[in-house]
Amino acid sequence: MPHAPIPEHGWISSTYSGGNEGQCIEWAPQHAAATGEFLVRDSKNPCGPRLNLTANGFTGLVAFAKLND
């Protein structure tokens, strides 16, 4: 089921996104700060599925991205 956009929390592109190659992900840092829930989505499909991660899960995702950069 599609998710409603979360404009009030300001999605931003990850610094590990692939640029113009279509491999862009976004996350909502203001939402994370307010709730402790880290949301991650595909920038090409903002109303599509998204990951809901804990702080540890998000830290692991960032570590994985750094290793595969």
* pTM beyond cutoff 0.85: no
pLDDT for the residue numbered 8: 58
Question: With bands split at pLDDT 50, 70 and 90, how would you rate the model's confidence at 3?
Answer: low
pLDDT for the residue numbered 21: 57
Cα–Cα distances in Å, from 20 out to 4, 14, 32, 62, 69? Answer: 25, 13, 26, 20, 16
pLDDT for the residue numbered 69: 66
More confident: 16 or 51: 51
